[in-house]
């Protein structure tokens, strides 16, 4: 018999706040943190840059993590895991007694170490061979060792689908009884590499991302780590845990269409969403909100919207669609997990979150777009999408418990 899988703990760090409580406060006040990238991080003065801003975490947190660990990501992730475990009322002794695993997604996690090594070599003529060994699996391994985890450990790097993919992997392990508890999520800090890379593709917005707007001109990058504690419903009830939501199902695929662009008709986005609903045994009539990947780039949003229109074509009522990247920026490997947490907060507060101006959204008989907070919306089922480079696609179905 398959286990039902629920979420019992949340931990987050992003431009919206240093923890989930701060995130909730800023969401309620509709406050975002989209500012100029400080020169201490890297220079954005080159004329070829389309803008000089990002959705950044608190400078003090960034600097503290950097001082404690030159590669930063393990410190930031550990901070969020601590928060999620405390939220779930799990002590270190409890997670060590159980079969507790870790699924962590990151898109470009090890590039921070690569850049540090290059700077030491070029600027100071120092060869830091240790940082040359710093890889994505090493990040995850060091975190698993830190928390003395005995269960399955997975490093997932499927571009911008990494965070959602990690939730799906954790779901599989718990549903099939291969783990008691799973710590799942994603982490990425944007660096010179990601900033210049997306800029070279003309994918950065010149102002701020406006998902699905007809005048959208690109994405805005952001820092984030999002962590969820997942366990079986039976386990959660037995120990009296707070249950935030249930994970009903997910699907991943690779469309193999293009290295950096989705199929324009959105037929693989449609397949990913449709199969997620089938796996979750949820009818599209019962889905009130789609938390879209919605980067704000012309090709991504166009394809995803086409996929959504096809998915909703026979639905009787309108469906809310929004992209919370207008609140956090595109956080790459952390995007899916941060967006899952924001979906959980939508259940908690009966609110769909958004914050951008757009008066030129496409007309649709099936869709109502979320561009600002919409309160008193008791959604019961949310489909959350992550569609990344290399054709990596993942969707997850979250339900109110």
Tally the domains of the chain: 2
Predicted local confidence at residue 96, as pLDDT = 94
Domain boundary among 186, 205, 238: 238
- State pLDDT tens for residues 154-172: 999 999 999 999 999 999 9
Q: In the chain, which stretches have pLDDT less than 50?
A: none
What is the domain extent for residue 125? 5-238
| H or E segment to which residue 286 belongs | none
Instruction: Please tell me whether residues 163 and 309 are part of one structural domain.
Output: no
Q: Are residues 105 and 127 in the same domain?
A: yes
Do residues 10 and 20 lie in contact, with contact meaning Cβ atoms separated by under 8 Å?
Answer: yes
Asked whether residue 287 falls in the same domain as residue 354, the answer is yes
Asked if 139 and 222 sit in the same domain, the reply is yes
Whether residues 299 and 274 share a domain: the answer is: yes
Residue with tokens 């507060």: 349
Which residues, in sequence order, are CB contacts of 217 under 8 Å at separation 6+?
Answer: 205, 206, 207, 210, 296, 298
Which pair of structure tokens corresponds to residue 38? 């400080």
Longest CA–CA separation in the chain, Å? 65
Check whether residue 10 and residue 98 sit in a common domain: yes
User: Active site residue: 111, 209, 263, 330, which one?
Assistant: 330
Query: Do residues 270 and 364 share a domain?
Result: yes
Q: Among 206, 238, 270, give the residue marking a domain's end.
A: 238
229 and 284 both lie in a single domain = no
**Residue 293 appears among annotated catalytic residues:** yes
> Do residues 260 and 302 both lie within one domain?
yes
| 111 included as an active-site residue | no
Is the domain of 152 the same as that of 274?
A: no
- Kind of pairing between the strands at 100-105 and 34-36: unpaired
For residues 153 and 136, the answer to whether their CB atoms sit within 8 Å is no
pLDDT tens-digit series, residues 165-208: 999 999 999 999 999 999 999 999 999 989 999 999 999 999 99
Instruction: Choose, from 80, 209, 293, 308, the residue flagged as catalytic.
Output: 293
What is the reported pLDDT for 131? 72
Structure tokens at 130: 């240790």
- As a whole number of angstroms, the distance between CA 367 and CA 154 comes to 36
Tokens 């489909």 map to which residue?
Answer: 383
Can you give the CATH number for the domain in which 383 is found? Answer: 3.40.47.10
Domain end among 238, 259, 286: 238
The pLDDT of residue 123 is 84
Clarify whether 258 is annotated catalytic: no
Q: What is the pTM of this model?
A: 0.96
- The predicted pLDDT at position 17 comes to 97
The alpha helices in 35-109, defined as continuous H runs, are 59-68, 73-87, 92-97
Distance CA 295, CA 284 (A): 23
Q: Which of 160, 209, 225, 326 is catalytic?
A: 160
Same domain, 165 and 307: no
């Amino acid at each position: 018999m398959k286990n039902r899988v629920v979420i019992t703990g949340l931990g987050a760090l992003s431009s919206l706040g240093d923890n989930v409580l701060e995130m909730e406060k800023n969401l309620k006040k509709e406050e975002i943190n989209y500012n100029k990238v400080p020169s201490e991080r890297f220079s954005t003065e080159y004329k070829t840059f389309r803008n000089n801003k990002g959705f950044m975490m608190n400078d003090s947190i960034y600097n503290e993590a950097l001082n404690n660990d030159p590669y930063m990501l393990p410190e930031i992730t550990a901070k969020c895991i601590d928060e999620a475990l405390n939220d779930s009322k799990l002590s270190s002794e409890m997670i060590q007694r159980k079969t507790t695993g870790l699924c962590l997604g990151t898109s470009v996690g090890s590039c921070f170490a690569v850049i540090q090594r290059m700077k030491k070599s070029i600027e100071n003529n120092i060869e830091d061979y240790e940082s040359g060994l710093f890889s994505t699996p090493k990040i995850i391994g060091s975190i698993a060792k830190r928390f003395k985890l005995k269960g399955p450990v997975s490093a997932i790097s499927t571009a911008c689908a990494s965070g959602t993919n990690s939730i799906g992997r954790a779901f599989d392990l718990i549903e099939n009884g291969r783990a008691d508890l799973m710590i799942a999520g994603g982490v990425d800090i944007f660096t010179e590499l990601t900033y210049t890379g997306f800029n070279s593709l003309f994918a950065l917005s010149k102002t701020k991302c406006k998902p699905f707007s007809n005048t959208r001109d690109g994405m805005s990058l952001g820092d984030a780590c999002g962590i969820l504690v997942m366990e079986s419903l039976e386990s959660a009830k037995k120990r009296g845990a707070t249950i935030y939501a249930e994970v009903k199902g997910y699907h991943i695929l690779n469309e193999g269409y293009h290295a950096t662009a989705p199929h324009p008709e959105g037929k693989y986005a449609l397949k990913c969403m449709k199969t997620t609903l089938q796996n979750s045994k949820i009818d599209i009539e019962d889905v009130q909100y789609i938390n879209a990947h919605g980067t704000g780039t012309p090709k991504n949003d166009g394809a995803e919207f086409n996929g959504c229109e096809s998915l909703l074509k026979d639905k009787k009522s309108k469906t809310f669609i929004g992209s919370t990247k207008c609140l956090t920026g595109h956080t790459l490997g952390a995007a899916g997990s941060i967006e899952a947490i924001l979906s959980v907060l939508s259940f908690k507060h009966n609110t769909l979150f958004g914050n951008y101006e757009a008066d030129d959204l496409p007309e649709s008989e099936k869709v109502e777009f979320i561009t600002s907070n919409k309160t008193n919306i008791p959604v019961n089922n949310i489909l959350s999408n992550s569609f990344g480079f290399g054709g990596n696609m993942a969707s997850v179905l979250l339900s109110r418990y």
